[in-house]
Structures are given as structure tokens and as C-alpha cells.
């Protein structure tokens, strides 16, 4: 399984970015896709996840109402729409494949490479 993340960049506070994560190779319908992030000098933390077939979603409290996770199963791609970005959202964002609810680092089966999001104040 390979996960290819893209879409990071530099944005001003209040702006928006959309991250994408394309999965290739063998994927499992029982696994969910999610996003984690690692701010500078901090541990990796959960951001959002979506079940692969059921469309259920879950979010970290810090991003609820600002971030939206979605998926396109035909493309094996998951998206993270990030609105109203804040400087504290600055981090390396990683996509992850794991069992639902896929909200803990220890439960992740596969990691993508990170994509850097920088939010300037």
C-alpha cells in the first residue's frame, strides 16, 4: 500500500487549503482513511478520519467546524478541506490508513509521506 499526500503550502491566517491523499496498491474496504499532523516540536496528533465505505467521519475538537474530510472511492483518494486556518494549524500533515475510527497513532497500519502546511499570522 502506498499513500501519496499533496496540497500543503504556505497560507495566511484565515485562508484555506485542500490536502489530497491517493492510495494505491492493495487497499482494504474495512479500513478507514484519516489525517494526522505533527506541529513543530510536538507529537503527532489526530485530525480527522472517514470510514472507507460508510461515510462516517470523526474530527479532533480543535478542527471541528473548520476542516472537512471527504473521499472519492473511484479515485481511492481522500481530501481534507481546511478553512479558517490558524497559525496553530502549522504542522506536517500525514495521511493514514487504519481500522475505524483511525484516531490513534498506534492503530495506524500505513502512513503516507507528510505534507507541510504553514499558516502565517
CA-based nearest residue to 93, from 77, 79, 107: 79
Q: Give me the half-sphere count of Cα atoms (radius 13 Å) on the Cβ side of residue 54.
A: 12
Q: Please list, residue by residue across 34-54, b when 16 or more beta carbons sit within 10 angstroms of its beta carbon and e when fewer do.
A: bbbbeeeeeebebbbbbbbee
Q: Give me the half-sphere count of Cα atoms (radius 13 Å) on the Cβ side of residue 92.
A: 12
pLDDT value for 76: 86
Digit-coded pLDDT (tens) for 7-35 = 999 999 999 999 999 988 876 666 899 99
pLDDT tier, 54 (very low <50, low <70, confident <90, very high otherwise): low
More confident residue, 75 or 116: 116
By CB neighbour count within 10 A (0-12 exposed, 13-18 middle, 19+ buried), where does 6 fall?
middle
Q: Could you tell me the end-to-end alpha-carbon distance of the chain, in angstroms, rounded to an integer?
A: 37
pLDDT value for 24: 87
pLDDT value for 53: 76
pLDDT value for 47: 98
More confident residue, 17 or 72: 17
Instruction: Tell me the C-alpha distance between 49 and 88, whole Å.
Output: 20
Q: What is the DSSP string of 27-49?
A: --TTEEEEEEEE-TTS--EEEEE
Amino acid at each position: 500500500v502506498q499513500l501519496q499526500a499533496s496540497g500543503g503550502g504556505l497560507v495566511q491566517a484565515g485562508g484555506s487549503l485542500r490536502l489530497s491523499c491517493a492510495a494505491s496498491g492493495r487497499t482494504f474496504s474495512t479500513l478507514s482513511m484519516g489525517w494526522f499532523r505533527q506541529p513543530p516540536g510536538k507529537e503527532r496528533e489526530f485530525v480527522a478520519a472517514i470510514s472507507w465505505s460508510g461515510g462516517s467521519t470523526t474530527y479532533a475538537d480543535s478542527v471541528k467546524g473548520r476542516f472537512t474530510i471527504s473521499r472519492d472511492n473511484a479515485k481511492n483518494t481522500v481530501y481534507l478541506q481546511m478553512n479558517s486556518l490558524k497559525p496553530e494549524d502549522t504542522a506536517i500533515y500525514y495521511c493514514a490508513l487504519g481500522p475505524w475510527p483511525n484516531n490513534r497513532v498506534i492503530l495506524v497500519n500505513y502512513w503516507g509521506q507528510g505534507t507541510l502546511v504553514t499558516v502565517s499570522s
